[in-house]
């Protein structure tokens, strides 16, 4: 399977119950792009685990579920207007895990391993306004 956003390779991981509500259609499984970090709901069983997501970059949190939360956050940031409520809740969840989501977004945007599907500088400004 390839990423529908950039045709990159993907990891197919199970979505923990606590994260399902943040994604459209509450999927059991998502594909996480190894290039743009976009998450896409998929049908079928997981073939990778969340630890593989955390291993994509040293800029991702080492805790697998938090790394997956950050990937979901990156995806939702693609449409702030549609996902405002989910973003606000997910930011709180990520912060609770000890990670600054905006700093994580900055680091991921600067990581040469990724080509995120959003303009990080522009989104960061908008997120700062949204989250104040």
CB 91 within 8 Å of CB 72: no
HSE-CB for 114 with a 13 A CA cutoff: 29
How high is the pLDDT of residue 130?
Answer: 85
Domain ranges across the chain? 10-131
Listed as ranges, residues in the chain with pLDDT below 70 are none
First to last CA, the chain: 38
Q: Which residues pair with 42 in a beta bridge?
A: 29
Averaged confidence pLDDT in the chain: 94
Torsional sign, CA 19, 24, 28, 44: negative
Select from 67, 57, 75, 69 the least CA-distant residue to 5: 75
- pLDDT at residue number 26: 87
Q: Give per-residue pLDDT as tens, 75-99.
A: 999 999 899 999 999 999 999 999 9
CB 41 within 8 A of CB 23: yes
What is the per-residue pLDDT for 129?
Answer: 87
């Amino acid at each position: 399977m390839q990423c529908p956003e950039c045709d990159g390779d993907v990891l197919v991981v199970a979505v923990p119950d606590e994260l399902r509500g943040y994604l459209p259609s509450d999927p059991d499984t998502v594909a996480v792009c190894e290039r743009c970090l976009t998450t896409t709901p998929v049908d079928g069983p997981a073939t990778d685990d969340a630890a593989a997501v955390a291993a994509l970059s040293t800029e991702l949190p080492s805790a697998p579920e938090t790394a997956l939360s950050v990937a979901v956050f990156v995806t939702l940031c693609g449409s702030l207007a549609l996902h405002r409520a989910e973003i606000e809740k997910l930011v709180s969840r990520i912060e609770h895990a000890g990670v600054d989501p905006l700093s994580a977004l900055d680091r991921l945007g600067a990581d040469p391993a990724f080509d995120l599907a959003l303009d990080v500088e522009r989104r960061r400004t908008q997120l700062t306004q949204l989250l104040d």
